[in-house]
Structure 1
Amino acid sequence: MSSILPSWPWRSNQYHDISRHPGDPENLEEKMEQRPHKWQARWKEMFFDVCLGFFFNVFTSRSKFSILGFIVGISLGYTVSTGASYDQIHSISLNKPISPEQSGTKWGKDLYFYPPLDEERYPAVPSYNILSETSDILASARNMTSQSPVTPLFVPFTRNFVMLRQTILSYIAAGWPRDQIYIIDNSGTMDANYNGLLSVTNPFYLNYKLFRGRYGVNIVRTPTLLNFAQLQNYMLATAINQNWTHFYWTHQDVVVLSDELSTPYHSLYERVLTSLVSLIPTMNSKSTLQGGSRWSIVWYDFDWLTLVNVGVASSPKNGVGSWDTFVPYYATDCDYYERLRLSGYPILERKVGDIFDLSKPVPNAESAFFGKARNNTEEDSGRLCGSSQYTELKNKLKLMMKEKGASGRNTWQDAQKGGKGEPWTYDPSGFQTAWWDMAAAGSSNGKTLGGIWGGKETPRDEINSGMRELYMEEEKELWELEPLENLESDGELGATGRSGAAGRSGATRRASFRCL
């Protein structure tokens, strides 16, 4: 990488350093102090080249004019070729994200990962929602899982920073560990948000410092804009790269509340851990694989909060595989969830608290979810369990969710219209129009999903039955074309000998779903 910009051939430039990052100001100042003035460094190297050229010319020519010409030529050549390289290199290095070595993260060399900053965390989590490190349920979860963190939560973001903010605040207030929350910056604006180049009115604006500093959560940036199906595959790929057996994901337009009137009281996060501990034995155990009771995902109020069993997708022998990116938005979940069911992997449902699907921001979100603290410290939230403030907030959220269901669904996505002329920014209205066109083309009322499951005009309520019929027909054709013993010898059938999709490879099974 030391020669990505023009430099003098056959000799490396000691100032071509692209390892600096703006997140390390002390390192930056040290480099600035240590480096020589650019003209001083340039004249040093020019002198070296002139001397070398002179000695070379002595052996190749006897003319004094040729010696002078050679010296002038090599000096001008060096000056022109390196005139921009020094400044360009140092300006480029200012835009690099924090490196894993500087941040201390365990994410390897992932330059798209931004861990929490080393700052005080606010607002204060209500004391009754802080799970003790000596908790039995926490100890059980850690002992039964082979991954760290135990409960990684992905929150994909594309537009509307205000909606995302209240989602993050609600999870933190309900006890979810801040450092186990991962915002996925899918704004498609490259590093513009990290460098603070977008305005608050820009729909793709995301405040890195606020979330990583004050709120203490992680941010993972996608290399470019992804659709919903691609985001799901991105989360799966990230989990696989981190050797996670499971992860959680939630929508950026929901908020959560612990059930503060339940007795005995347990926070939403504690109930999530309890649920996880009960599910681990049937996640990937040998007996589960043989008995056909391996679950795929767990819904906590539909997919507003979802637990994903990574092995169901990634298993080489009988994994379901990836989400279909040719069905980018609406109905891509129908496609994937039905493939899970038909493959013999049940979708479970559990209750851990209250989850509300919203289309508008909650006024004064910090005080709404955390209470008005008497002082700004982690130990004092100023809120009591089961208080009137909790009851009022819950009733308000119920009303807001009802309003969204009546007429306001997805209006939050197109609420902001600013950002004109800012780096990497789509026109908000054009983006919204294109988004709906893409969603319609892939949905059950469009061409793509209808072509897969039963024709372009297939009504939505007939899609599921069409899935099952197509699946069974393809299964029958497979067994007629390939003797069972051949499938077993080729590794296409699981070791348990299960019939149907659950015993077949993800590649073969996915091909049977694509009706071309």
Structure 2
Amino acid sequence: MLVKQLRFRALVFGVFSFCAVTYLLLPSSPYQLQEEIYYYIPGLRAHDAPRHPRYKSAQRIPPPIVDNFPLAAAAKTPSDLPPVPSYNRPPAQHAPEKTPLFIGFTRNWPLLQQAVVSYITAGWPPSDIYVVENTGTMNANARGQLTLQNPFYLDHRRLTDIFGINVISTPTYLSFSQLQNFYIHESIQRNWTHYYWSHMDAAAVSKEDWSDPHTKTYRPLYARVVEDLRDTLTWPASHRWAVKLYAYDRLALVNRAAYEAVGGWDTQIPYYGTDCDMHERLLMAGYTLDNAQVGLVYDVGAALDDLLVLYRRKPVGNEAPIKAVAKPTGEARGSGNGTLHVQPAPAKKTVQTWGEEDALASQAFHLLAKRLDVLQREKNSNARGRNTWQAQQFGGKGEPYYRDPEGFETALQMTIKFGREVMAEKWGRKGCSLRSGGLQIEDQWRVRHDSDWN
């Protein structure tokens, strides 16, 4: 009797074990089982098996963005915009010095437009501003083939015909370090010994409550830039300057010869870390990185609701106070089937008039400066990262050179991670403190990992 019970238990255990192992080893779906049958049956080729991709969760499509300068959107000529404030206006006759300013653009039109308008209203001559379109969409924007919801959308006509600035297009999409070398290339072609560059997520404002400590007079941002340039160009040859930083590199003046002397930017470090590599090599080579103040240059991740406020005009009627669009307007609603549909934002009524010029350093100026400062702090304290503004548009499907926005951002983050690894391997240590570790410029790719590598 005992033997029979033991045999029965052994049989039950064996059946249970067989079922468990079979469950674990069998494919998770009939499709996978069918594919494995194709794989194991002799004479059938692997590519004959049917393929059934397993898709990721549905993308969350953010609400549509709106144009943050409706007056410019409706403008037919430059005169349809208010003039630059009289106290910020550039001189009628251009300064003898050249002051070309590069602003690179890849994604997020509202932020780029804000950067451009902020520099114009701070007194920078529009003819000296060069937006570098780095979208990789060839001439699609110039032909007007992309729409506002496309992350790579840029309004060529408005930039050139209404704002009066220049647009240069890169031959294909470039990384940050490649774009910096493109600036060097353009300055060589145009015979510029120096140039300025700024980020597209910067907002420049003249510090209206500032006055020169010697003359007690106010000067706008651009006038102070020119004065600082004149001072810099008169430094003795022994002062081997490479770059002048205004609020770090939100606005920077570059000595082209210095950048060429160290071989330009290392394009194998495409994004984060490449500025550290460049600056450390310049310092190792005996050049200086100098700092100066010329005004207020903010690092923001959102655009003001209406850029008319940058022209410093008094409100007309019941205009809304200064505010910002930290996120695109509109409402996203779930459909219950895993997809999201967007309820478009209501159309904004365009006002074709503007008030009289506001006084210098008025309350409105302080409100504007405070609002931009809030946007800067919100960007730097964002738990999801400082540059979430780069992934706010998900439209453009079916348009020329379309790229999946989520895929583009994913690939970018992967490239950033790889670039940091290249930077660390190049110098044998992680982080930006290269000279403090005794490294010299000839040590590139020649040193082993330091003791803090792990």
For normalisation by structure 2, the TM-score amounts to: 0.69
Which residue of 2 is the match for residue 382 of structure 1?
357
Which residue of 1 is the match for residue 142 of structure 2?
194
Q: Displacement, 1:223?
A: 0.7
Q: What is the one-letter code of the residue matched to 2:405?
A: P
Which residue of 1 is the match for residue 338 of structure 2?
none
Contact 1:174 1:269 in 2 (8 A): yes
Contact 2:244 2:253 in 1 (8 A): yes
Which residue of 1 is the match for residue 439 of structure 2?
469
Higher relative contact order (CA 8 A, sep 6+): 2
For 1:80-479, list aligned pairs within 5 A: 120=79, 122-133=81-92, 139=95, 142=96, 145=97, 150-263=98-211, 264-282=217-235, 288=237, 291=238, 293-314=239-260, 319-372=261-314, 382-407=357-382, 409-443=386-420, 446=421, 448-454=422-428, 458-460=429-431, 462-466=433-437, 468-471=438-441, 474=442
For residues 100-133 of structure 1, the C-alpha deviation after alignment (integer angstroms, 9 at most, x for no partner) is xxxxxxxxxxxxxxxxx98547332001111333
3-state DSSP of counterpart to 2:394? coil
Which residue of 2 is the match for residue 515 of structure 1?
446
Identical positions, percent: 38
3-state DSSP of counterpart to 1:460? coil
2: CA distance, partners of 1:131 / 1:178: 10
2: CA distance, partners of 1:262 / 1:419: 44
For residues 13-62 of structure 1, the C-alpha deviation after alignment (integer angstroms, 9 at most, x for no partner) is xxxxxxxxxxxxxxxxxxxxxxxxxxxxxxxxxxxxxxxxxxxxxxxxxx
Unaligned runs of 5+ in 1: 1-116, 475-511
Q: What is the one-letter code of the residue matched to 1:297?
A: V
Contact 1:300 1:350 in 2 (8 A): yes
Unaligned runs of 5+ in 2: 1-75, 212-216, 317-350, 448-454
Q: What is the one-letter code of the residue matched to 2:431?
A: R
Q: What is the one-letter code of the residue matched to 2:426?
A: I
Call closer, same or farther: CA 1:381–1:324 in 2, change over 3 Å.
farther
For 1:36-47, list aligned pairs within 5 A: none
Residue correspondences, number: 331
2: CA distance, partners of 1:433 / 1:460: 23
1: CA distance, partners of 2:104 / 2:284: 27
For residues 417-442 of structure 1, the C-alpha deviation after alignment (integer angstroms, 9 at most, x for no partner) is 11112101211000000001101101
Call closer, same or farther: CA 1:178–1:430 in 2, change over 3 Å.
same
2: CA distance, partners of 1:221 / 1:386: 38
Q: What is the one-letter code of the residue matched to 2:101?
A: L
Contact 1:126 1:381 in 2 (8 A): no
1: CA distance, partners of 2:156 / 2:432: 42
Q: Displacement, 1:327?
A: 0.2
2: CA distance, partners of 1:298 / 1:322: 16
1: CA distance, partners of 2:181 / 2:262: 12
Q: Displacement, 1:463?
A: 4.0
Structure with greater helix percent: 1
Q: What is the one-letter code of the residue matched to 1:200?
A: L
Please give the root-mean-square deviation of Cα atoms over the aligned residues, in Å: 2.2
Q: Displacement, 1:373?
A: 7.9
Which residue of 2 is the match for residue 479 of structure 1?
none
Contact 1:296 1:312 in 2 (8 A): yes
Contact 1:371 1:381 in 2 (8 A): yes
Q: Displacement, 1:372?
A: 4.9
Q: What is the one-letter code of the residue matched to 1:405?
A: N
3-state DSSP of counterpart to 1:216? coil
Q: Displacement, 1:365?
A: 1.5
2: CA distance, partners of 1:127 / 1:330: 40
Q: What is the one-letter code of the residue matched to 2:253?
A: L
